[in-house]
Structure 1
Amino acid sequence: MKAFLVQKYGKKAELILNEVSKPIIKENEVLIEIFSAGVNQLDTKILAGEFKQILPYETPFILGHDLAGIVVETGTNVTKFKIGDEIYARPSDYHIGTFAEYLAVEEKDLALKPKNLSMDEAAGVPLVALTAWQALVEVGNLKKGQKVFIQAGSGGVGIIAIQLAKYLGATVATTAGKSSFEMLRNLGADVLIDYKNQDFEAVLKNYDLVLNSQDTNNLKKSLNVVKAGGKVISISGPPTPAFAEEISASWLIKMILSLLSANIRGKAKKKGIDYHFLFMKANGSQLEQITKLIEDGTIKTVVDKVYPFSQTNEALNHVASGRAKGKVVVKIR
């Protein structure tokens, strides 16, 4: 089968298209014929080598964290899915590789594809939707009547998070360029801040929760818009000692992550704010709940651009540019 591999890490590195063996499934896995694959910032960061300490993949390996496709083979212990099922998933770490024609995926990571989405639309959902769910529901415990600030509203995570927060009954503020305001207002954003001409720190106050996806400067400013007892959840770092424990990191990595996050943890503690670093996890059960919200129209998807499989590197570059409004997808079938 054809697949795009990381041969070497680097900020200017590109994926290499190669012929590799089709995966052989284990008893708890299904073999997926991949029709479409979502492209994420995580892919660009892994390729650049920014996550080698957290996810030390040995090259060469196939990149890609989102897929939509059809089950073509099932392991002996698989009970929830059968050959022919249309599914979507964010495979677990160390089981990634969706920039390929086939992938073996653990049953626990899978969910049936929403019936009202095409393969291209569905492929862009799992990673960003699970990130939003785990940030707002699992960690943030967002409640009706609370106020949440979601940075970068027109990005993949932002678009889903805005809709999920409105479903949960929250007031939602977000940052974006003015050209995205109408789309975000239609998705449910209540407070729109033009990041080019406005400072969110001067506009927002007494928020219950911030979902940070930007740089350290924006993260520090976010502490000033959250009230005491509130939470700041960052999906862009810095990682914390608690996260190091989660991934069973070595003592050296634990020390490094502790030092990296010491400043922001200290500032948050002084203000009585809970700082949490979130690195989303694959979860088929949560994805099933997201599917229901998509099928009933609560959550809508936004696809920015679909690239042919041969242009996977171009798709990665588009995501890395930060200009995408919605999801970028690679069509494999």
Structure 2
Amino acid sequence: MKAARIHAYGAIDDIRIEDVPEPVPGLDDVLIRVEAAALNPMDNKLLAGYLKDFFPLAFPYTLGTDLAGTVVATGPLVATVRPGDRVIARTDPASGGAFAELAAVPARLVVPMSADLPLASLAGLPTAAASAWQALFEAGAVQPGQSVLIHAGAGGVGSFAVQLAKRAGAHVTATASAANLDLVRSLGADGVIDYRNQDFTAFATGLDLVIDTIGGETLERSLGIIRRGGKLIGLSAPFDTEGPKARGIDAQFLFHQSDAGRLAAVAALATDGRLQSVIGQEFALADTVEALRSLSKGGARGKTLLMV
């Protein structure tokens, strides 16, 4: 089969599309024929070695964690899915394996999906939608009536966060580029801010919760518009949380961790048509280098997919 692999930590150009043996499922594994795989910023961080203290990679390593596809075979201990089932999954980042024609994934990380849904559109759920859920409901504890600002509301995590926060009864404001303002409104945002031409701090104040996927200056400036007792959840990179706490703000860096229950929850919303996947760009598996290079530039609209 074909797979996008690296043989050492390095740069995007070091990725090779190679012929490799098909994986053999273990006792509790599910062998999935991949239809689509979603790219995440973490893919580039794993490639460069930035996360090796958390996820040490064994080489050669097949990239990718998020996928959607059809079950080909299962290990003898698997009772949750069977061959022919349509599923989504998030592999362990240290194992990877999604950017390939076939992937063997532990059954606990696999969620069955309805036969009525286009699988490709669901490949972005495992990390992006589940991260939005984790940020809003587990770390942010959002409540009906609260005011929430979501940065990069048209992005992978942001587009899901806007929808989930609105469904939770929050008053949602989101930042986006001018070209994506209508999209963010259609996802449920009550207010939108063109971050390139408008100062978001002039349009929002006294907020209960800010979800930030950008970091740096955007995160720092967000602290000034959160009420005392409010929360800031940052997903981009670790940051100083003690300074905000001294100002009465509960600031947390959120590192997404796979959870089958959480993934099942967002999958159920997607199945019922209550959670929309925004798809930006689509690339072939052979164009993985180009796809990751495009993602690294930032400003992606929705999810970027590899169509396998």
The interval holding the TM-score normalised by the smaller chain is over 0.9
Distance 1:295 1:16 in 2: 35
90-99 vs 111-120, greater mean Cα deviation: 111-120
For the residue of structure 2 that corresponds to 1:224, the secondary structure is helix
Aligned to 2:254: 278
Q: Which whole-Å deviations, capped at 9, do the CAs of 1:124-180 have from their partners, x for residues lacking one?
A: 222101101111112211111011111111111111110000110111111111111
Q: Which runs of 5+ in 1 are unaligned?
A: 239-260
| Shift in Å, 1:184 | 0.7
> TM (normalized to structure 1)?
0.88
Quick one: which of 245, 270, 275 aligns to 1:294?
Answer: 270
Aligned to 1:30: 30
Q: 1:265 to 1:190 in 2, by over 3 A?
A: same
> TM (normalized to structure 2)?
0.95
144-153 vs 294-303, greater mean Cα deviation: 294-303
Matched, 1:215 2:191: no
Aligned to 1:158: 158
For the residue of structure 2 that corresponds to 1:223, the secondary structure is helix
Distance 1:14 1:157 in 2: 27
Residue pairs, 1:165-314, within 5 angstroms? 165-238=165-238, 261=239, 264-314=240-290
| Shift in Å, 1:296 | 2.0
Distance 1:6 1:227 in 2: 46
Distance 1:40 1:136 in 2: 19
Distance 1:295 1:32 in 2: 20
Distance 2:60 2:207 in 1: 44
Matched, 1:126 2:121: no
| Shift in Å, 1:113 | 2.3
Distance 2:50 2:165 in 1: 30
Quick one: which of 291, 296, 300 aligns to 1:324?
Answer: 300
Aligned to 1:243: none
Specify the code of the residue in structure 2 equivalent to 1:272: G
Specify the code of the residue in structure 1 equivalent to 2:103: L
Residue pairs, 1:55-74, within 5 angstroms? 55-74=55-74
Q: Which whole-Å deviations, capped at 9, do the CAs of 1:187-233 have from their partners, x for residues lacking one?
A: 11112111111222222111111111113221111211211111111
88-97 vs 170-179, greater mean Cα deviation: 88-97
Contact 2:125 2:266 (C-alpha < 8 Å) held by counterparts: no
Aligned to 2:93: 93
Distance 2:73 2:281 in 1: 30
How big is the alpha-carbon RMSD for the aligned residues of Structure 1 and Structure 2?
1.5
| Shift in Å, 1:321 | 1.6
Q: Which whole-Å deviations, capped at 9, do the CAs of 1:17-61 have from their partners, x for residues lacking one?
A: 112222222222111111111111111222233323332223321
Q: 1:315 to 1:208 in 2, by over 3 A?
A: same
Distance 2:14 2:136 in 1: 34
Residue pairs, 1:74-93, within 5 angstroms? 74-93=74-93
82-91 vs 195-204, greater mean Cα deviation: 195-204
Specify the code of the residue in structure 1 equivalent to 2:250: D
Between the aligned residues of both structures, percent identity stands at: 38
Contact 1:92 1:281 (C-alpha < 8 Å) held by counterparts: no
Distance 1:152 1:10 in 2: 28
For the residue of structure 1 that corresponds to 2:104, the secondary structure is strand
| Shift in Å, 1:116 | 4.3
Q: 1:187 to 1:114 in 2, by over 3 A?
A: farther
165-174 vs 39-48, greater mean Cα deviation: 39-48
Q: 1:182 to 1:107 in 2, by over 3 A?
A: same
Contact 1:120 1:306 (C-alpha < 8 Å) held by counterparts: no
Q: 1:96 to 1:327 in 2, by over 3 A?
A: same
Q: Which whole-Å deviations, capped at 9, do the CAs of 1:60-84 have from their partners, x for residues lacking one?
A: 2111011011111111221111111
For the residue of structure 1 that corresponds to 2:14, the secondary structure is coil
Q: Which runs of 5+ in 2 are unaligned?
A: none
Distance 1:91 1:113 in 2: 17
| Shift in Å, 1:305 | 1.8
Distance 2:15 2:26 in 1: 27
For the residue of structure 1 that corresponds to 2:132, the secondary structure is helix
Contact 2:12 2:293 (C-alpha < 8 Å) held by counterparts: no
